[in-house]
Copies of this chain bind each other. A is one copy, B any other.
Amino acid sequence: MPTETPISMAPQADAQSAPCPRFDLPAPDVTEATAIAALLADPTRAGILTLLRDGPHCVCEFAATFDARENNVSNHLAKLRAAGLVRTTRHQGDARWIYYERDEDAIARAAEALDRIL
């Protein structure tokens, strides 16, 4: 206990001479934000979302651009799809080619969840 300052105390309201930590603070719910951040933490997934901003692309294009294997790209796209951030459309004329495109509504909601903690 600081027993000096016989007349005037430290007048700061910001931090007094006795710290009183609060142990009953409510823990904020960050499950949604952390799930999205975990998706964005991978460079391949982040690159895919960025590349998709100028239109749909197929798996082989991602694989070539990021020097990754097609199955790994497909795995990353499956996670983005499970989170609802991307959709798939088949190419008419050759339905083997699956084009991925952004779900802008879901991505906007994801950005809001991140902004809620930033």
Contacts and interface: CB of A to CB of B under 8 A. Distances in A.
Given A12-B92, A31-B43, A33-B46, A58 B111 contact: no
A99 B20 CA distance: 12
Contacts of A78: none
Contacts of A31: 43
Nearest to A22: B61
| Chain A interface category by residue count | 35 or more
A28 B41 contact: no
B25 A34 contact: no
Contact of A64 (B25, B47, B50, B57): B25
A117 B43 CA distance: 11
Nearest to A23: B64
A83 interface: no
Contact of A42 (B12, B21, B34, B116): B34
Nearest to A31: B43
A17 B94 contact: yes
